[in-house]
Amino acid sequence: MATLVFDIETSALPQSSFDEAQLEYLFRDAAKVPDAAGRETRRAEIEQQFNLWPLTAQVVCIAMVNADSSRGKVLFVAEDSEPPPGPAGPVEFMPCLDEVELLSAFWEAAHRFDAIVTFNGRGFDVPFLYLRSALVKVPISRKDWLGYRFQTEPHCDLAEQLSFYGVSGREGAARRFNLDFYCKAFGIDSPKSHGVTGLDVNDLMRQGRGQEVADYCLRDVQATVQLYHLWKERLAGIK
C-alpha cells in the first residue's frame, strides 16, 4: 500500500484582498478593546492568525514524501519557475507560478496513493487544502481524508495517534504536544532546529525566498516520516 506523508505551508493574503465589511468582521474583536494600544496589539494578534484560515491565506508550499521509498516532491510558489540548481536527489523541488498550479500538481500526485500520514492534518492541512482548492476552482482528487476519525486508513494523523485521540484532555498524560516537542523527545532531528519556523513564512515569501520555505517544509515532512515509522513499530494497534 503506497503511503504519502505531506505537510503544507500557508501565507496570509494582503488586507487589500478584503472589503470593508470583511475587515470589520475580522477585526471586530480588536475594536472592543477600550484603549488604543490594546486595540493595536489585538489587531496584530488577529492578523498573525490570518495564516491559519483558508479564507484569509493561501497555500504556498506542499512537501510530500513516499513513506517507504523516501522519494518525493516539494511544490512551492516562486517567481522564478526554473527548478533550483543542484544534483538530482530522491526529492524533487518544483517551483510553481501560483497557488492554482501548486494545488493542481498536488492533487494529480495524491490520487496515486492509497493512504496519507500527517501531523495535525485532520485539524489543519486537509481542510485547508479542501477549502483553498474549492475557492480557486482546482478539482480535488481525494475527498475521503476526513472520514471516520478513529481509524488510521486512509488518513493516519500522528497528532491524534500520539495523544490517543485526546483521551486525557489538554493537561493529562496523553496531552498533545507540537511536532518539535515530539521529535526532540523521541530523538528525531527537529525541523525547527535549523533556524526557520512557520512564523517566518510570511516574511520569507514577501522577500522572494520561497526555496527556504520549501526546505523548511521538507524538513517537517522528513521528521514526520521518521515519527510515523517509530509509531508503527512501537505504538500502532493500541486501542
81: pLDDT confidence band, cut at 50, 70 and 90? low
Average pLDDT over every residue of 40-52: 95
Best CA proximity match to 153, nearest among 142, 163, 140: 142
Query: How many whole angstroms separate alpha carbon 163 and alpha carbon 230?
Result: 15
CB within 8 A of 17, min separation 6: which ones? none
Evaluate whether 165 touches 148 at the Cβ level (below 8 Å): no
Helix, strand, coil share of the chain (percent; to 5): 45, 15, 35
Three-state DSSP at 115 gives: strand
Among 218, 158, 214, which residue's Cα sits nearest to residue 186? 158
> Where does residue 81 rank: exposed (0-12), middle (13-18), buried (19+ CB within 10 A)?
exposed
87 or 133, which is more confident? 133
Task: Please report which confidence band the pLDDT of residue 53 belongs to, taking 50, 70 and 90 as the band edges.
Answer: very high
Among 84-88, 99-103, 110-114, the minimum mean pLDDT is found in: 84-88
Among 47-61, 86-100, 124-138, 211-225, name the one with the lowest average pLDDT: 86-100
Pull the grid cell for residue 85: 540548481
> Which pLDDT band, with edges at 50, 70 and 90, does 88 fall under?
low
Superfamily name and number for 3-18+56-234: Ribonuclease H-like superfamily/Ribonuclease H (3.30.420.10)
Quick one: pLDDT at residue 151? Answer: 92
Q: How large a percentage of the chain has pLDDT more than 90? A: 88
The backbone region for 166, taken as left when phi is positive above 0, alpha when psi lies in -120 to 50, beta otherwise, is left
HSE-up of residue 88 (Cα within 13 Å, Cβ side): 1
Task: Give me the pLDDT at residue 115, please.
Answer: 97
Tell me which residue of 55, 81, 56, 62 sits closest to 134, measured CA to CA: 55
pLDDT digits (tens, 9 = 90+) for 177-203: 999 999 999 999 998 888 788 889 999
Per-residue confidence (pLDDT) for residue 168, from 0 to 100: 87
**What percentage of the chain exceeds 70 in pLDDT?**
97
What is the rounded distance in angstroms from the CA atom of residue 193 to the CA atom of residue 25? Answer: 37
